[in-house]
Amino acid sequence: MSAYFWIWACLLLRISAVAGQDKTADETVTCLVSKECHLPCTFPPAPNTSVRWFRQDILMYSFGQTPGQNQTGRAAGFLQMIEDGNATLVLKEVGLKDRGTYRCHVRTSQGKHNAKVVLKVEAPVQGLSLELSRLSGYEEMKCTVRDVFPPPRVTWATEPPTFEDLRPVTRMLADKRGLYTADSKLRVLKGQPDLIYICKVSTSYGGPTWTSSLRERAISGNEGHDLTIPCFAPPYLNSPTLHWNFSNGEDPAHILTYDSRSGHCMSEPAWDRYVELDGFRVPFGDGSLRLMAPEHARHEGTYSCFFAMPYNMHTERTDVTIYTANATRSTSQTSYWWIVGLVVAVSVLALVAMLVYLKMRGNTAKPPSHDPEEETELNSVKGVQGEHEPSNRFSAGGHNSQSGLS
């Protein structure tokens, strides 16, 4: 009885050992669209090795003693490494259709080896664009991200935060490859011209969150007088790289680049005598550019500054108007005559109001007026009465005196 027990025990141990050598735990591999992908499969090296890779029971790749069995389609193996126990499968130009479970079967003179690999394919965010659009008849911010899988999540925010509800409209469209393009639009809030609009894009696979933000403004200056073009980074960007570009209806021209980490500034020679940047302020988020003695024909246009970091980009676009001496004089004279006209109008209104007030006050204080004819007749009556009044008064007085004496 004890002999049979030990025999069975040895057999079970042997089976367990073989099973432990033949099969390894499932492994998950994530690969990127259009890139090369490696599916691992390692085993104890031994002579007379043959390898077969399956995807859902469909043979993808095989290697053995027979020539011509070592590559099928886009799948290949490291032939020189198989003898060393490495049967890794190489997939070229991976697409979403390659997702699934793969099985590796290896047979050697020492036994069998099996492995299972789960392949996930993703298309991460490579970048996003944010711009101001007026195609819909009103101003709106448009945030776009292309060729992403799985579908991304787009959210909006402002800096500083606003109490108004942000109501973006987001559309997801998939192409024939299964990759998504996200197009999100947010209407510009009225009465808040200096807001920073922030678009954030994230994915379900836990990759980095991409952020793009934009602020638009317009300023003006006089030809020959220095002008500071403002540019300030949001507080969530630390030690970014700064770029300045200029456009006057043509392709943007590079002005300068400043690296906050190295403190190195590179500017185009054509702009050296016209621009100045305070490098000590850039690491703290102030990338304002000083435009020295600007010229109307050369320097009027749109200036764009970019604060860049990995996965983050902040843009400020400023439309700059440069007035010439004649335009400045005309503008100042126009403003002067507007002021003169306004003062005259106010003076006239004040005079009219005073006259109305005096008239109303005079009407209140003056007694009721009489008809002239009536007043003449009244005076004549008083005259007639005056002729008879003395005798009456005398008789009355005499009567009174006699009465008094008696």
Q: How far apart are CA 204 and CA 338, in angstroms?
A: 60
Low-confidence ranges of the chain (pLDDT < 50): 1, 4-23, 66-70, 329-332, 374-378, 381-406
pLDDT in tens, 7-34: 444 444 444 444 444 445 589 999 999 9
**CA pair distance 274, 103, nearest whole angstrom:** 66
What's the confidence (pLDDT) of residue 335? Answer: 55
CA distances from 117 to 89, 193, 326, 381 (A): 10, 54, 76, 135
Q: Which fold has domain 210-323?
A: Immunoglobulin-like (2.60.40)
pLDDT of residue 17: 44
16-122 folds as Immunoglobulin-like (2.60.40)
Sheet holding 289-291, edge to edge: 227-229, 289-291, 275-277
pLDDT recorded at residue 67: 46
List phi, psi (to 5°) of 75: -95, 140
Distances (CA, A) of 338 to 239, 324, 326: 48, 21, 18
Give me the pLDDT at residue 124, please: 92
Residue 404 is predicted with a pLDDT of 38
What distance, in Å, lies between the first and last C-alpha atoms of the chain? 184
- For residue 338, the model assigns a pLDDT of 65
Residue 399 confidence (pLDDT): 40
- Length of the chain counted residue by residue: 406
pLDDT of residue 336: 61
- Residue ranges of the chain that CATH labels 2.60.40.10: 16-122, 124-208, 210-323
Partners of 156 in the β-ladder: 199
User: What single-letter DSSP state applies at residue 271?
Assistant: G
Give this prediction's pTM: 0.69
The Cβ of residue 326 has, within 10 Å, a number of other Cβ atoms equal to: 9
Q: What is the pLDDT of residues 44-85, one digit of tens each?
A: 988 888 999 999 888 988 887 544 444 557 778 777 788 889
Q: 3.30.465.10, 3.30.1360.120, 2.60.40.10, 3.40.50.720: which CATH number matches 124-208?
A: 2.60.40.10
Number of H-type helices and E-type strands within the chain:
5, 24
Q: What are phi and psi of 40, to 5 degrees?
A: -75, 145
